[in-house]
Chain A
Amino acid sequence: MRETILNILKDIRPEFDFESSNNFIEDGFLDSFDVVTVISELELKYNIVIDGLAVIPENFESLDSICELVKKSGEK
């Protein structure tokens, strides 16, 4: 899952090295438009629906937090 999500992030913002960042939001790798795009891609890829209340910066600051969000949203 990490590799798949990393590829989604690289596809959206190819100019950034996501593996070198400890916080995608604070480092400016993902803005709110990017987050919307990430959610759309995740929902499509994993056939899940991410709750609107889960769309907070904390859930998109690292690969771990995004993986956790996908799992909570129904991906086994």
Chain B
Amino acid sequence: MDFHFQNKQITGVLSILPETEYRMEDEVIDPNDSKVKRLQKVIGYGSRRRVKGNTCMSDLLLYGLRHLISSQQLNPDDIGAIIVSTLCEDYLLPSLGCILQGELGLENDVYCMDTPQACAGYVTGLIHAFLLLDHMPNKKVIVCTGEILNRKSDPNEAKYEHPSFGGDIANITIVENCHSSRDIYANYFTDGSRRNALIIEDGGFRNPMTAEKLKMQTNNLPCMGVSMDGSGVFNFVQKEVPPSIFELSKQAGVTVDDIDWFLFHQPNKFMLQKLAGALGVPFRKVPMKLTETLGNSDSGTIPAIMTTEAADSLLSHNNLCCLSGFGGGLTWTSIIMDIGNLDFCECITSDL
């Protein structure tokens, strides 16, 4: 599906980090294992953040929202909608959007929606925000993303043979109407026939969680039982994403050479280098250090590179950006838009 939006912009991005930082070496059985060392070099495993054992997504998001409100970067009366994209809901019911609305004491007509779109969650969240803004000319949409898949109830529990790819983070993006921005182009694709390539099989109604499964997951599978056909997912990204970006560029009337930043989901350094190669763009335009510093946080990666590697540029001047999320579904979705002169673009550390 193709989208064309006008008069919309991102005005601020905030990342909220847990305070606990650890190194990849801390979570593997043998950090000197040659395979672990090679993976560290090629994939880019490095440091990670992990929330405390009882911290939930709403805690991180409320920490950030209250920070923005208390620093007068966000007026709660301006919020017209809250979109949350995460796999880490506090409860099966109610949704996180409703929890945030209630905790902040927002008006009852604030539109609240959760969209668990995993690695494509940030881009789909922005698409929803752009759609909603046509119906709320004087309001802002808050797009919340991130994951806490690294959470451990017992920090001393068993270590892993291979390091986990994940990292905990929450992000808040402010999206609003404007009258001067360049048009925004987006596309969205899904192929559910390949859904098993990236799946968390247990914990839903198909395969309810049991004590035995939970023990197996936490002891043996990093990131709470994410099962992935690594080669299948890699090949999917290389095959589907570049042509969809070339097509989107045509629709936007630009070439990939015109784009200042390729703000991609961050699975690993190797995949991003191959993606940059397929697009024929220099590595300097494709931030890819996040897997070394904060890890792959699914829906949280794109705003995380905005508040870290690209922050100075996004604060100081306008940039033509291509955002692309790809993963579970399998889904791939991209946006080409101007982002810059942001009111804020920062990363804060919580005590959570």
Contacts and interface: CB of A to CB of B under 8 A. Distances in A.
A16 B237 CA distance: 30
Nearest to B241: A52
Interface in B210-237: 229-231, 234-235, 237
B348 interface: no
B238 A33 contact: no
Main SS class of interface, A: helix
Interface stretch (B35-43, B121-129, B135-143, B150-158): B35-43
A37 B277 contact: no
Interface string A55-66: 111000000000
Q: Specify which of A32, A34, A52 lies most central, judged by the most chain B CB atoms within 10 Å of its CB.
A: A52
B42 A55 contact: no
B238 A55 contact: yes
Given A49-B277, A52-B274, A52-B275, A33 B39 contact: yes
Nearest to A57: B231
B3 interface: no
Interface residues of A, number: 18
A17 interface: no
B35 A52 contact: no
Contact of A53 (B34, B38, B162, B278): B278
A22 interface: no
Interface string A34-61: 1111011000000001011101110000
B22 interface: no
The 7 closest A-B pairs by CB, nearest first: A32-B230, A52-B274, A52-B238, A40-B42, A32-B231, A37-B38, A53-B238
Interface of A: 11-12, 31-37, 39-40, 49, 51-53, 55-57
Given A40-B270, A52-B271, A57-B231, 20 more contacts: A32-B229, A32-B230, A32-B231, A33-B35, A33-B43, A33-B162, A34-B35, A35-B231, A36-B39, A39-B270, A40-B41, A51-B278, A52-B274, A52-B275, A52-B277, A52-B278, A53-B235, A55-B234, A55-B274, A56-B235
